[in-house]
Structure 1
């Protein structure tokens, strides 16, 4: 696949979010000129900062002036949001931004979607990009519809579109379901049995991939799964979170049915005990990118 090596002016939405806070400094360090967009003008962001709530208003046309790459991170991910918010931000705002970018002459639009756009897994094999099922929640459905809209848009013009589907993203500070499990550990949740397995991706590796896409943009429209290639069982995740606290392996454990009951109290049973495994082979083969960190390593980097 041909690539061109160029210096880029980038616009990053969701710049002060979990991924944006890691990505924007990495882009600047690599030589990119960054326009950071967030709902509030957080002073911790780098480069030019614009305060825009994309769920309520379009991006000002002048914000895209001379921009070569848009990296669209902004979205609502938590599962208790109203369905209309998923539609407004994850779907409508994504497609409106992409249309504005295409009209402004942006050459590359990168959409950070989610593996949830692929629907629930039918079994525990590693899923490829084409292994999709109907989505069963508003979040996944909004991401899938946005992907479909972007693929249609790519066919209508010459703006390259890259759709990334990250698995659960982990950083030095546990977030989301990992934070819930970490809380359970602090409350004495026993060690789970060795069962299940899921894919994840480290925040540092995701940021490196996005920087690579800016400076080595692929042509055309592509959809890729992003994960680190490892299979994390609930026990593996549990042990890594304990190690982060400076604790050794737990001596007590529960059989599967009892652990599921205990984890249900925290709301993490189905999210961390089941199987959600993905194949990153297409991305690795296409870009030559390879993940370099693991969950245990990243969690060990905390202060």
Structure 2
């Protein structure tokens, strides 16, 4: 019987791109991590597909839908509907308070990973509320542009990377001003999580109510894109699923994401334009460069099939 060897709190903009819903379902199906909470967080204020003022509330609703379909009882929390107003003042939310409460527990030795598939509002707010959490968790973030010496950006990518743009001030708090241990999956790495619509149809549609829910949610992205004059082709990026790969699908002996590669370097500063500024005195950061997509995707498909047949 598989028992937990780590704790996870996952925070994501679940009302946006449904790769976050895929990540959530995968996390819920993974018994080696105790899922201590799910936080629905907000989208960028200028998101073209979801121009609403209450996107954290909508993300929370998406979480409760998934939990209901899967008949799972996991604590769910709403994050702030807005980003930080400045780098000194937290945005209070149930999500930030849940991070603080879990990090400050003294009744367990299981390591705590707090994973982020969107912005960093709740992490920055939790740290500003209680700086001692920095010694009691590891943050894993899907976000940030390419580091210039590691990979070039994709063509036609003006402005800040999307998840960084959700809350630039929060990213500055976490990178520039906090000592929080950080594993980063920047854009060049998370774009490796490429699957085809054909394989999603084969593996998701037969996988009961939750599989159909995920597949239909992804198909709606293609419909919205088509309506906006965008041709997405026949592939989709499961860009948030590396959160499960790195936090949960770790090696059996000496637990670590041993099949994915990273470089370790001093944490750069993030400037007001969303670019990295090197600094030699930055704390060490893991920047993932290559992800074990085979383990990540095949494990997800297998767990969906096993859950369907149980």
Q: TM-score, normalised by structure 2?
A: 0.46
Structure of larger gyration radius: 1
Q: TM-score, normalised by structure 1?
A: 0.46
